[in-house]
Amino acid sequence: MSSNIQNAAGPIPIPVDPRSTARAAGPRGKLGPASVGRSLPGISPEIAKVGLSEICLSYRTQSGERLLALDHINLEVKPGEFLCVVGPSGCGKSTLLHLIAGLHQQTSGQVLVDGKPVEGPGTDRILIFQELGLFPWLTVGQNVEFGMKMKGVSKAGRAEKTRYYLRLVHLSQFKDSYIHQLSGGMRQRVALARALATEPDVLLMDEPFAALDAQTRDLLHDELERIWAETGRTIIFVTHNVREAIRLGDRVVLLTFRPGRVKREFLIDLPRPRVLEDVHVAHAARAILDELREEINRSLEVEYSVGVRPHVVPGAEP
């Protein structure tokens, strides 16, 4: 393991059962000051921007059995932190974002934002959906100002902010275009601008770059990092791409496959800006991938429970 990547638990191995991890003072409490990567001046690490405590979510499948999707998730996100959540598909990482956004209700446990429990959606937390959910009946500019309009911001105020955020994502010339006239990468940037324009404290991103080509994704990584630095938002970023998580995150949380539990946390203190192809990134990814592969194999076992049991080729990125 590279010296640049540290297990959040330090040298002490994390117990396999995440519940016992959680009960021990929470992930932040276990960190020695030396292992904190990027220091956040002026912000006490005790105040979590987003806190998840003992989150469980179960639902009934069509055949009537109860399926536990999330199992006692405990997580704290600091103000201004860039947290990445990785896990195999089906581990409930998207669901976790929906819970924080207030679009779904957890079965038990609490979602806290600034110490207050979340009750329904709020513009302090904006989710960028995997499918984006841009409104095709509105122009780019109208999409960006939508949240502000709902909040009752004056027309002049909306116009000014829309201009600002479109400039931030380099889409000023496309203000009057409709969504279908844009490329995939441009749509991503509209979604980002629309989310930022409501000025949320917390930005929730659900595999936003999964469907993009590599070049566009690299570009958007740079832009997202720049915007994050400029606006100081807290970002929770869900992805199945470990390298992407290391490219962007201050911290990477690995979830287990069904039920989703926090398997491990990794602190990434590589200097920014990071490059996907960088050897340190690859090195750090290796450590996480090894852990992730176990979960992917478990998920494959479940999904291919009848017949052959394919395994992930070692070294291949999921």
Partner 1 sequence: MKRAARLVIFYTCLIGLWALLAQLKIWPAYLFPTPWGVAQELYDGFSDHSYWIAIAVSMRRVLIGYTISVVAGMILGLGVASNKFLEETMGGLLVSLQSLPSICWWPLALLWFGLNQNAILFVVIMGSLLSVTLAMEDGRKQMPKIYGMAGRNLGARGFQLFWHVLLPASLPFIVSGLKQGWAFAWRSLITAEMLYVSLGLGQVLMMGRETSNMNAVIAVMILIIALGYIVDGLIFKSMERHLQHKWGLTPAT
Site for partner 1, rule CB under 8 A: 101, 103, 121-123, 126-127, 129, 131-138, 146-147, 149-151, 178-181, 194, 198
Query: How do strand 116-117 and strand 108-113 relate by DSSP bridges?
Result: antiparallel
Rounded to whole angstroms, what are the CA distances from 226 to 14, 50, 132, 222? 33, 22, 21, 6
Distance between CA 67 and CA 57 in Å, rounded?
9
**CB 221 to partner 1: min, Å:** 23
**CB 102 to partner 1: min, Å:** 8
**CB 150 to partner 1: min, Å:** 4
Task: Pick the closer one to partner 1 by CB: 31 or 99.
Answer: 99
Task: Pick the closer one to partner 1 by CB: 108 or 181.
Answer: 181
What does DSSP assign to residue 239? Answer: E
Rounded to whole angstroms, what are the CA distances from 242 to 48, 255, 288? 24, 12, 7
End-to-end CA distance of the chain: 20
Task: Pick the closer one to partner 1 by CB: 18 or 141.
Answer: 141
What sign for the dihedral angle of Cα 289, 20, 89, 296?
positive
**CB 94 to partner 1: min, Å:** 12
**CB 152 to partner 1: min, Å:** 9
**CB 130 to partner 1: min, Å:** 9
Distance between alpha carbon 297 and the CA centroid of its chain, in Å?
Answer: 23
Task: Pick the closer one to partner 1 by CB: 123 or 216.
Answer: 123
Rounded to whole angstroms, what are the CA distances from 29 to 6, 77, 130, 178, 246? 15, 12, 32, 48, 22
Task: Pick the closer one to partner 1 by CB: 112 or 138.
Answer: 138
Task: Pick the closer one to partner 1 by CB: 7 or 177.
Answer: 177
